[in-house]
A = this chain, B = another copy of it.
Amino acid sequence: MRLLVVEDEVRLARALQKGLRSEGFAVDLSHDGASGLESARSGHYDAIVLDVMLPRLSGYEVVRALRRDRNWVPVLMLSAKDGEYDEADGLDVGADDYLTKPFSYVVLVARLRALLRRGAPKRPAVLAAGDLVLDPAAKQVARGDTPIPLTAREFSLLEYLMRRSGEVVSRFDLLEHVWDAYGASDANVVEVYVGYLRRKIDTPFGRAAVTTVRGVGYRLEADGG
C-alpha cells in the first residue's frame, strides 16, 4: 500500500513516514501543496494524508484540484483546530476523512485502514461472446465453466478480436494492435497464432469462434461460434 504524506512540518512528516513504514506501508513525502498535488496526480498512491495548512497551495485546494481531474484517491485530511478551517470544510471539498491535530497516531492508522478498505477496486467488466468469456483484469479466458490457459500473445489476440467481435479484422490491423508492429513484419505470424488459438478455444469444444474471411482477415463470431 503506497501512501503520500503532504505535510510541511518536517519533524512530523518524518515521524509519520517512519511510523507508517513500520506498519508496512510504502510512504512518500511532499512538503508543500504544489509538489504534493503533482505527486498525487501521478496516480501511484492508494491513499493520501494531507495537511490543510501548506505553503504554496492549501490542502483544500489540492483536494479540489484532484477531484476536478476525476481523481478519486482516498484523502485523509489533517488540520490544527484553530477555528479558521474545520472538518465540514474539508469533507465538503472532497476529502474522505478528517483528523484534528493533535491526533493520536493509532487513530490515524486505523482511519487510514478504513479508507483503504472502502476504496475497493472497481474491476472493469468482462468481455463475452456466447459462452466464451474473457476477463482482461484477471487475464483469464473460459468456455462456459472450463478455464482455458492462454499465452500472453494468444490472450492479446483474442482480446482484440473480442473487442471487435462481429467485425472482420485484417491481418494488418492485428499486426499493428497485437504485435505492436506495422508494415515491416510478416503477417504469417498472425496465421500461426490464430491457429494456436483455434486449437485451444475451438477444436476441443467442436466450435468455431474464429472465422477466416478469405482475402480480408478474421472475424470473431459474436455468439461464440
Residues of A near any B CB (own CB < 8 A)? 1-2, 21, 24, 26-28, 44, 46, 83-86, 88-89, 91-93, 102-104, 106-107, 109-111, 113-114, 116-117, 121, 123, 125, 136-139, 151-152, 155-156, 159-160, 163-164, 166-168, 176-182, 213-216, 219
- Within the assembled complex, what's the spacing in Å between the Cα atoms of A164 and B178? 26
A179 to B26, CA, bound (A): 6
**Contact present for B107 and A88 (CB under 8 Å):** yes
A78 to B24, CA, bound (A): 29
- Report the minimal beta-carbon distance from A162 to chain B, rounded to whole angstroms: 11
Other A-B pairs, 16, CB within 8 Å; known A46-B177, A91-B110, A138-B219: A1-B159, A1-B177, A24-B152, A28-B180, A44-B176, A84-B104, A85-B107, A86-B107, A88-B111, A92-B110, A92-B114, A113-B136, A123-B166, A139-B213, A151-B214, A152-B213
